[in-house]
Chains A and B, each alone.
Chain A
Amino acid sequence: MSKNVTQLHRRQFLKTSLSASAVFAAPMIIPSSALGLDGAVPPSERVVVGGIGIGNRGTYDLGCFLEQKDVQFVAVCDIKEKQRIAIKKRADDHNKNENCATYRDFRELLDRKDIDAVLIATGPNWHCTAAMQAAKAGKDMYCEKPCTKNIAQSVILKDTIRRTGRVFQAGTQRRNLPHFAFACELARTGKLGKLKKVFAHPAGMQAMMSGWLIPETEPNAEVVDWNLYLGPAAWRPFNAKLLDGFNFEKGGGLVGGGVLEWGSHCVDLCQWAVNDVPAPIEYDPPKNGQLVARYADGVELIFRETGWIPLGSCPVRFEGETGWVETGDSGKLVLSSPTLLAGRTVAEIAEYPATFHVRDFLDCVKSRSQPKGNAEAACNAHIACHAANIALHLGRQVKLDPKTNEFINDEQANRLRSEALREPWRL
């Protein structure tokens, strides 16, 4: 390791302080106190929330929502009876009542006028379609990632969020973690010199598809509603193994894998580092464990499996002409030079739950500002992942027009930009 490398261990960081807030751009919010949040929250300031598809990740997200004093969680929808019961119990225990309503069909939940926002934590198959339905129903939404299954969905989702005026927060919570924010800030503000390369870790650079498995006896819809579980995905018979929403039909059932699963986090951070410009315009096929994409200004976005400093999962690295920074989920930062701190100490929180990302969302629900994981930013990152997956899938270079998000003179790649939804679903 370079002698000039400075490592900042989490324990070495100061606790969150005024100085930390000086480093990171603060979310554009009204102070909570101004909204009456420093004590009891008046009903007019509460955000009434419903949950859609609350499994493992969703349960964690839900905990983050319930921690917020101004959240009133009133309803859960899940295609699994077991989850409906479990989440209702959790909400009712928290709310000290028995009022959390349960739904099998999320459209009934969206019909409720009293619900302001929804937490969408279904499997990836549903994310975009449910988010579109929520936006059209006038709900703001916190939507887990990957948010879209293909490029066309990404474009339509961000257009719809803009058109409907809704607040959208992707579950890209690392945008609200100080060490990632700091690293991106260094890259974005020229502290590393002219930016040359940004690196993302796809954690499994392979396109995947979920399958048509051996048919099993379909459960009673009240127990598991298979039809609603499939939702926009092309039909296939019930098989309990497909109920693992995590792997089911992400990336349109044709492409996905680590490039999308982890890319929606680490590519998202790379996008932030390059100032959330449109996705790269060229994507080479993978070579020696690396897939290189290029932005319009020549900066390279490199998906690479190995060569990382051991800084935990979801590592990113940004290299400029005069310096570099690397960080990951460990919360540690490695810098080419301590001078990159510009005399500042990076404050770090002891743990990094997504609570702050949720808070960012809730504040924006009230202020109508754009949260860190807004639709425009998230969808651009997703487009980069989808395009990389298409290059991976086709085994050759593809070129993307950043204005139209279509591949240039490449019908084969363009045919992979979108995929029909099963009836009756549409975007």
Chain B
Amino acid sequence: MDQSIKRFSFKAMGSFCEVQLYAKSRIDAKQVVKSIAAEIARLEKKYSRFRDDSFVTDINVSASQRLGVKIDTETKALFDHALTCFEQSNGLFDITAGVLNYIWDFSSNKVPSQAEIDQILPLIGFSKLSFKRSRLYMPANMQIDFGGIVKEYAADSAAKIARGLGVQHGLVNLGGDFAVIGPQPGNQPWTIGVANPKEDKSLMAKIDLLEGGLASSGDYERFFMHDGKRYSHILNPKTGWPCAGLRAVSVAANLCTVAGSVATIAMVREESEGINWLKESSLPHVYMDSEENIGGVGLKT
């Protein structure tokens, strides 16, 4: 059967999304892309904390309510995964840390005072959430942000939907988070270039993906310099201060969601611990440390 590669792009979850797949005709492929876009839009509408009508907003509004809020199976599964991330990072990857953004304003280069931080810290901590049956009880003023998980999950879910529609060769790229639908024809891998955050248009590494996914985490896009000190937008939920670890990490794993969680945990850890964590995972990865040295294993150059 004659199949050729078809490329589509659209905007979703505030980023550029690209779908590549092998199909007989563009019309066939378009049907698949429509279903993928619908799934990503569904997850964005449900989990975006920037939308007033999202379920996450409902959850955040419900904080302190005596009856809590009823959560569905999918949301419960996200909380379960978030708990694993929290535990595996010793509390550094915390979906309740979003409240720190109220005092850390990265557009105004303003460093908050310790007093301001101390006021916010009691509102952070995954372990302060309680789940009973299918309800979540959250203390007043706490907030949930699935931002560090849902984009990767959406890429995996989109890939699964494409497989369900019969696509065997394809790739989903949701703003730098990749999920493989199936390898290129002839069981050939997809080669993904990881951009060097320091130099435009140069690559830090190439990673071959036959299946699973690749995700990246970095502080290059959002940080500021203040009094000669670099403040990363990745904040330590325990201290309320920016993390001073790795600059950028990309990881390949059996799922984009797993790759994303491993990458984020590497970023929130202290630099040498982050590198160890990546090594111990034995997953293909590449990172840039605070001195802008590039390291990692399992990549092509």
Partners in one complex: no
Chain A contacts to B: CB under 8 angstroms: none
